[in-house]
Structure 1
Amino acid sequence: MNSHTQPINIAIDGPAGAGKSTVARLVAKSLQYIYVDTGAMYRAVTFKVLEAGLSVEDEAGIAHLTETLDIILRPGEQAQQVFVNSEEVSAKLRTLDINRNVSYIARIEAVRTKMADLQRQMSLAKGVVMDGRDIGTHVLPNAELKVFLTASARERATRRFKELGDDAGITLEQLEQEITTRDRLDQEREIAPLICAADARLIDSTSQTIDEVAKQIVQWGLAIARTISTGGK
């Protein structure tokens, strides 16, 4: 990005499987911004909860565990690296068990509070692309660009099915049902539910490629950054 252009923060929200992480990574790379995968942070907490053998209903136990976790995100050659208490857990965060439990963990107020605090700290210097489910509405309500990225449940299930590979141990239909259930949990949770911010720009990626979506967001981001840099002229 032009060194004379004021960096901005970009919030990308949307339901599971909409392609947020991949799009956000491409946008950040194009703009030379920092990418923050907030979903990976909640997955990291879920991984440690399951590893500790805690019930997803044990909110007090999960809250206590969360306070002991030091979560750090670092850029990697292919994808962002996630460290929990100095242990890299990146490759362990895309299992079916985590997919099925992360929405329950994310509903817990203590978990969301700590994650949101960490995410806001990461955004203070500007030039951040952050994706999740409550970024534009709760974590970064003052982000200069907000995008709500969605796709049909069937399309999102198909993408996740391909991501899991031949040994998924689940049918496409079952995965679509799980995604639909996760949508409901995310939308109905009391703390920072999944909703489209009033000032967000909506993109339905069902019939668009990831590159097309990323290109559109980059164009919006550049236009906003130039406007801010020139004082709105």
Structure 2
Amino acid sequence: VALLALETATSLADAAALGAIAERADFRFETGAAGNRLWLNSKDVTEAIRSPEVTHATSIVSTHAIVRTHLVERQREQGVAGGVVMEGRDIGTVVFPDADLKIFLEASPEVRGQRRLKDQEAAEGTSAETVLQQISERDWRDQTREVSPLLPASDAVRIDTTRLTAAEVTERILDIAKARSRGAGMENSRGNR
């Protein structure tokens, strides 16, 4: 929605216009050899949504209840059959509060800034200080917004990734999921006796 708002010069303060964009937007996720891809109105926007401009706009757009309502509905449609992994700042508290497993990833703002710079391949003119300031501002906005604030779910497994590689984080999450799955399997087998 933020990307479309920027592309159409829609005011980020215009909740009604942003809600209309959210309602009309055609989102599609694809998984393949190239990884997960996000398509928006028949256009691959996987990289575009990670740009600094879109990231900043997303935090503002997500404060509008009408936008969150439309997006939560879309996200729930994606997960209705189960077997999905989703990321987002309110996935475990608002979108799927009854999810089988919720992971809340944390890292120091400095490390998140370094990772963001690396992801953006050091966008020209972007300094570590600027990225750190943007992250801090977004965190504050998202934690204090009235609609779907950034909070860990009370039953989420929290993982501090500050000193972990992506591979180590993935391994921890898989270990937790496997342990949880074994536990659920044992509970189901006990219930069937």
Query: TM-score over 0.5 for the alignment?
Result: yes
Q: Calculate the aligned-residue CA RMSD, in Å.
A: 1.4
Q: Secondary structure at the match of 2:102?
A: strand
In the alignment, what sits opposite 1:113? Answer: 69
Q: Secondary structure at the match of 1:129?
A: coil
Moved more, 173-182 or 211-220: 211-220
Alignment-mate amino acid for residue 73 of structure 2: D
In the alignment, what sits opposite 1:216? Answer: 172
1:61 aligns with 2:5: no
Report how far residue 84 of structure 1 moved: 1.6
1:46 aligns with 2:20: no
**Structure 1 contact 161–168 (Cα < 8 Å) conserved:** no
Distance (whole Å) between structure 1 residues aligned to residue 105 and residue 122 of structure 2: 27
Q: Select which of 13, 29, 32 maps to 1:73.
A: 29
In the alignment, what sits opposite 1:148? Answer: 104
1:82 aligns with 2:38: yes
Moved over 6 A (4+): none
Q: Select which of 50, 56, 59 maps to 1:100.
A: 56
Alpha-carbon spacing, 1:50–1:129, altered in 2? closer, same or farther (3 Å) = same
Moved more, 83-92 or 51-60: 83-92
1:197 aligns with 2:158: no
Report how far residue 215 of structure 1 moved: 1.0
In the alignment, what sits opposite 1:226? Answer: 182
Alignment-mate amino acid for residue 129 of structure 2: E
Structure 1 alignment gaps of length 5 or more? 1-44
Report how far residue 168 of structure 1 moved: 3.3
Alignment-mate amino acid for residue 122 of structure 1: Q
Report how far residue 186 of structure 1 moved: 0.7
1:159 aligns with 2:115: yes
Report how far residue 89 of structure 1 moved: 2.1
Q: Select which of 123, 135, 146 maps to 2:91.
A: 135
Distance (whole Å) between structure 1 residues aligned to residue 123 and residue 40 of structure 2: 27
In the alignment, what sits opposite 1:168? Answer: 124
Alignment-mate amino acid for residue 12 of structure 2: V
Question: TM-score scaled by structure 2?
Answer: 0.92
Q: Secondary structure at the match of 2:163?
A: coil
Q: Secondary structure at the match of 2:154?
A: coil
Alpha-carbon spacing, 1:166–1:126, altered in 2? closer, same or farther (3 Å) = closer
Structure with larger RCO (C-alpha < 8 A, sep 6+): 1
Structure 2 alignment gaps of length 5 or more? none
Identity %: 35
In the alignment, what sits opposite 1:123? Answer: 79
Report how far residue 83 of structure 1 moved: 1.4
Distance (whole Å) between structure 2 residues aligned to residue 127 and residue 58 of structure 1: 35
In the alignment, what sits opposite 1:181? Answer: 137
* Count of residues paired in the alignment: 189
Which structure has the bigger radius of gyration? 2
